[in-house]
Amino acid sequence: MRRLRNTKIVATLGPASNDYETIRALHEAGADVFRLNMSHGSHDEIRERHRIIRQIERDLDSPIAILADLQGPKLRVGAFRNGSEELEVGQRFRLDLDEAEGDATRVTLPHQEIFDVLEPGQKLLVNDGKIRLKVVECGPDHADCEVTTGGTISNRKGVNVPDAVLNLAALSEKDRDDLEFVCQLGVDWLALSFVQRPEDVQEARSLAGGRAAILSKIEKPAAVKSFDAILEASDGIMVARGDLGVELPVHAVPPIQKSLVRKCRNAAKPVIVATQMLESMIESPMPTRAEVSDVAAAIYEGTDAVMLSAESAAGSFPVEAVKTMDSVAKSVEDDPLYREIIEASRRVVRGTVADGIVAAAREIAETTDIKVICCFTESGTTALRVARERPRVPIIAMTSKRGTARRLALSWGCNTVMTGELERFKQAVVNAARAARVGGYATEQDQIVVTAGVPFNQEGTTNILRVAPCQERLIYATDPG
């Protein structure tokens, strides 16, 4: 299914998008990747959504990526005797390990790892930062705090610790169970929540065992500080602005977003910008102007994908939200200023032969009348390198591996086509020409650029570039050409 845009759309599934008709409508409206949020829904519900997506993929012959988003460790206060209490600015409030129900002076915080790293002067944020506490005095089992921002505190509200790196396992027991479950199902991407260090990513990669690509969610200050190492350890990145905006000043998030997107692009690794992109469309069929501008800003930055969360999972207008995102992406990419920004931010990568091949492919395509770049890829790396170039012409990523085709559905501009295993470059050119014609990218009068690696069917061998006419015909196996 050819898209008339390069930026991809990730849609979260949930109660509002739980059946074949709705999920198919979301895909046809523009969703390239479906997110399964492991924080919500039983394994049976997740299994059924996975089954429906794969059925739609077969019905439409359109590779679809499935992203399983692990919940991650949740830090929460305990329960209150009255269900909730009001905290006033300036009052003292204690967090401790006492399991007794809380009151207006204290509540349990059943996380020893927090008390192990707390120091006086550090901040604690409760309920997405609506309540802010400053640590005055602390010990191995308690923290006496001053309320700096008051409000209602109630049962099991979340706690953020922005000023410290917690000695906390990135994967809870639930996450480990969920990871194994979705890997057996056959998801394409695993999203890790609350990543703090590259070791968190390596642990998940070891458990996944190559069954899914690893995407790190950047939502903690510690992750921003260690971003370069986390990026190197990851296959992709999600800029999760929700918790990031809680733990950091909100005005710090936009420049961080821009910086992280740029680094991901330079590394040829896909990046998603997420959280509250079209939040008002949970209840309204129309977004706000500010939301549209937010989505557009991420696309101008060169992000690979933009994401819908509650808008498509629980909102009243899930299909309309996807259509809105699709329209914004098309509008931005049609703007001449978009090409100026993308090309001004392009970085010259001097590394491997493959880097040189894809850079040359983009240069040839943009300085001659080439209609499309066709790249043959086993692992997807070559296609990611082509996408990093952000060429002006479409990209057809051709692969014999279904898993590679699905994972590339997340990457900027990659239109994936399945092909059989090849033995000679001539076959690659023939298949590329056919895919370009069938997909409507080129006619028999046009030319295309083809990149591939010899020997075939091996990863990391991209070493050939050819400009070919699109009327190539199949040749006999005995033809030495």
Higher-confidence position of 191 and 427? 191
Residue-range domain boundaries for the chain: 8-72+170-328, 84-160, 353-469
Secondary-structure class of domain 84-160 per CATH: mainly beta
> In 187-252, which residue ranges form alpha helices assigned H by DSSP?
198-208, 221-225, 227-233, 241-247
Q: Tokens 């260090």 appear where?
A: 197
User: Is the pTM above the cut of 0.85?
Assistant: yes
For 222, residues 6+ apart whose C-beta sits below 8 A from its C-beta are: 165, 196, 197
Grade residue 270 by pLDDT with cuts at 50, 70 and 90. Answer: very high
Please count the other Cβ atoms lying within 10 Å of the Cβ belonging to residue 343: 12
> What is the SS3 assignment for 453?
strand
Grade residue 170 by pLDDT with cuts at 50, 70 and 90. Answer: confident
Grade residue 466 by pLDDT with cuts at 50, 70 and 90. Answer: very high
142-149 and 131-139 strand pairing? antiparallel
Its CATH architecture, for the domain 353-469, is 3-Layer(aba) Sandwich (3.40)
What's the confidence (pLDDT) of residue 59? 97
Decide if pLDDT at 313 tops 60.
Answer: yes
What's the confidence (pLDDT) of residue 403? 96
The rounded distance, in Å, linking the Cα atoms of 77 and 75 is 7
From the CA atom positions of the chain, what is the Rg in Å? 24
Q: How far is CA 145 from the centre of its chain?
A: 37
- What is the per-residue pLDDT across 35-74, written as a single tens digit (0 to 9) for each? 999 999 899 999 999 999 999 999 999 999 999 999 998 8
- In this prediction, residues 239-244 reach a mean pLDDT of 91
Residues classed as catalytic:
35, 76, 217, 275
Grade residue 286 by pLDDT with cuts at 50, 70 and 90. Answer: very high
- In this prediction, residues 241-257 reach a mean pLDDT of 92
- What is the per-residue pLDDT across 315-333, written as a single tens digit (0 to 9) for each? 999 999 999 999 999 999 9
Decide if pLDDT at 1 tops 80.
Answer: no
Decide if pLDDT at 476 tops 70.
Answer: no
- What is the per-residue pLDDT across 345-376, written as a single tens digit (0 to 9) for each? 988 877 788 899 999 999 999 999 999 999 99
Grade residue 166 by pLDDT with cuts at 50, 70 and 90. Answer: confident
What's the confidence (pLDDT) of residue 74? 84
Using a 10 angstrom Cβ sphere, with 0-12 exposed, 13-18 middle and 19 or more buried, the burial of residue 283 is exposed
- What is the per-residue pLDDT across 120-148, written as a single tens digit (0 to 9) for each? 999 999 998 899 999 999 999 999 999 99
What's the confidence (pLDDT) of residue 473? 59
Grade residue 472 by pLDDT with cuts at 50, 70 and 90. Answer: low
The rounded distance, in Å, linking the Cα atoms of 183 and 171 is 15
- What is the per-residue pLDDT across 199-215, written as a single tens digit (0 to 9) for each? 999 999 999 999 999 99
Calculate the average pLDDT of the chain.
93
Q: How far is CA 33 from the centre of its chain?
A: 9
What's the confidence (pLDDT) of residue 459? 73
One fold for both 84-160 and 353-469? no
What's the confidence (pLDDT) of residue 481? 34
Q: Which of 105-119, 260-274, 339-353, 398-412 has the lowest mean pLDDT?
A: 339-353
- Residue 257 pairs in a beta bridge with none
The rounded distance, in Å, linking the Cα atoms of 84 and 153 is 6
Q: What percent of the chain has pLDDT over 90?
A: 84
Please name the amino acid found at residue 305.
A
**CATH 3.20.20.10, applies to 8-72+170-328:** no
